[in-house]
Structure 1
Amino acid sequence: MTSDGMAEALRSLRPGSNGDPAETSVRALGVAGVTVSVFPKSSATLNGTRTPEPLWSFPELSLQFEELQFTLGEGPGPDAAHAGAPVLEPVLSQVRPDRWPALLPAAQRLGVRGVCCFPLGLGAARLGILTLLCDGEHGLSNQQLLDANTLSAALTAALMNGNGPTHGGNTGDDGQLWPIDGLHRAVVHQATGMISVQLGVSMVEALVRLRAFAFGSERPVGDVADDVVARRLRFDDDRNGPHSPDGGEG
């Protein structure tokens, strides 16, 4: 049976609700954090899977972890998106180091101890990911699993019906959020296109190059993308890696 807290969280998803679905879901599920990410139809793909856009999250650590997965291109979120099945690793310290070699040490430094990801979709339709941050001490209880699956089903139904919830319970000007196009990672997709032209490579390869540079420079991929779009950073194979053009000209 769904908990009273989850019933409150489900009410916060309704269009026009004044509730905060992210914070309410954290309380209802008894977890350290929640993020809901969605797949814009125009987003770039990597390994056959579109890249997700965070829709809402709480607290800030949840968003930081989502950005970490996006920068590295590995983790429970990408695996759940690719497989279309939940990936439950509530105790990251017990995960084999070679499963996510870049993510695991970075997550530890960030303070993330456990992660459980639930794909949002129906059949072949992949709409998004529900990510829960756990305390890293034990697995989800039966009640937490039931509530997480209930929330996943509600989010999937909302996205399928074109009424996806935004942060704070508000919707777009037309009252609908799905299909979603051009969320805050639009600059990443724009930068990926520019790098693709600069290097003469595919969009997939350009996204890999962008992520690799962000990881190597220990910067969020969005910040690097901003520099590319603003022509403060250019990727050329005839030089020793990405460089700042003279005078900021691209």
Structure 2
Amino acid sequence: MAEILRQLQTDTWSGAVADAAAPLGVDGISVSAGSGSDLPEILWSSGGLSDGFEDLQVTLGEGPGPDSLVSGTVVRVHDLTRVREDRWPALLTEASVLAVRAVFCFPLRIGAITLGVLTLVRSTPGPLTPVQSDDANALVAALTKRVLDLGFPLLSSPEDGEIVYHHAVLHQATGMVSVQLAVPLAEALLRLRAHAYSNSLNLTDTARDIVARRLRLTPEPPQMTAVDDADED
């Protein structure tokens, strides 16, 4: 972990985060930036379980990640199958399909300000060991500095650096739906989430289809109709 923390100070920081999975005893890691109830921006993800779980949380708008971001506190879920059904009702049902059993979310904080969340996912239940928890806290401290170095709030465009904004297309699609249906942005995002969830679709893929004008939400959610090529102009 000491070597990983050293690498986080270099341009190869994303590779260092990936290497942290082994000492932390987890199957996936993701790092997001955001604050309060805003939609978090995924700065980096190890893929696989992490990608699926992050997309699920964004689609449903609930989960340990959003809770950690809003509260600014660590959220440890040793076994998702033992969580109260009313805590994250939709997430608990869908997460079982992804084979995610344990989730650990650590807020990236500067004083009272939460900048983002480090999310660790694992396919087996159980807590982190004391050493793994200490390592996770050390990783959080290094990542918090890294997020600050990138700029917070994140004001730069993808062309300004190497950061890929995973949810940029979702922001764009939300704006398009807001204009098309004459509804606030918050309601437009709910419409997108409702359609993706009710049709068992990936939220990001749904957003891409809307931006590409292959799909269009109708005034009655969550229905969506295909747009003919002749209508795209």
TM > 0.5 fold call: yes
User: Quick one: percent identity of the two aligned structures?
Assistant: 46
Residue identity opposite 1:104 in structure 2? L
In the alignment, structure 1 segments of 5+ residues that lack a partner are: 1-5, 42-47, 165-171
Which residue in the other structure is 2:33 paired with? Answer: 38
Higher relative contact order (CA 8 A, sep 6+): 1
Change (3 A) 1:19 1:215: closer
Assess if the C-alpha contact under 8 Å between 2:31 and 2:119 holds in 1: yes
Residue identity opposite 1:227 in structure 2? D
In the alignment, structure 2 segments of 5+ residues that lack a partner are: 153-157
1:100 correspondence with 2:82: no
Which residue in the other structure is 1:109 paired with? Answer: 97
Q: CA deviation at 1:114?
A: 0.7
**SS at structure 2 position matched to 1:70:** helix
Assess if the C-alpha contact under 8 Å between 1:37 and 1:53 holds in 2: yes
Kindly provide the CA deviation profile for residues 190-226 of structure 1, in whole angstroms up to 9, marking residues without a partner as x: 1100111111111011001101101111111111111
Which residue in the other structure is 1:158 paired with? Answer: 146
1:144 correspondence with 2:132: yes
Which residue in the other structure is 2:114 paired with? Answer: 126
Which residue in the other structure is 1:186 paired with? Answer: 168
Residue identity opposite 2:4 in structure 1? A
Aligned length: 227
Change (3 A) 1:112 1:240: closer
Q: CA deviation at 1:82?
A: 1.0
Kindly provide the CA deviation profile for residues 83-134 of structure 1, in whole angstroms up to 9, marking residues without a partner as x: 1111110211110111111111211111101101011121343321100113
Deviates more, 1:29-38 or 1:206-215: 29-38
> What is the rounded CA distance, in whole Å, between the counterparts of 1:248 and 1:219 in structure 2?
26
Relative to total residues, which structure has the larger helix share, 1 or 2? 2
Query: What is the TM-score with the length of structure 2 in the denominator?
Result: 0.87
Change (3 A) 1:231 1:19: closer
RMSD: 2.5
**SS at structure 2 position matched to 1:128:** strand
Selected match of 1:15 from 4, 10, 23: 10
Which residue in the other structure is 2:24 paired with? Answer: 29
Which residue in the other structure is 1:213 paired with? Answer: 195
Structure 1 runs of 4+ with >6 Å offset: none
Residue identity opposite 1:246 in structure 2? D
Query: What is the TM-score with the length of structure 1 in the denominator?
Result: 0.82
Assess if the C-alpha contact under 8 Å between 1:88 and 1:116 holds in 2: yes
> What is the rounded CA distance, in whole Å, between the counterparts of 2:56 and 2:175 in structure 1?
21
Deviates more, 1:116-125 or 1:206-215: 116-125
Assess if the C-alpha contact under 8 Å between 2:31 and 2:117 holds in 1: yes
1:196 correspondence with 2:178: yes
Assess if the C-alpha contact under 8 Å between 1:231 and 1:249 holds in 2: no
Assess if the C-alpha contact under 8 Å between 1:11 and 1:17 holds in 2: no
> What is the rounded CA distance, in whole Å, between the counterparts of 2:159 and 2:224 in structure 1?
39
Which residue in the other structure is 2:60 paired with? Answer: 72
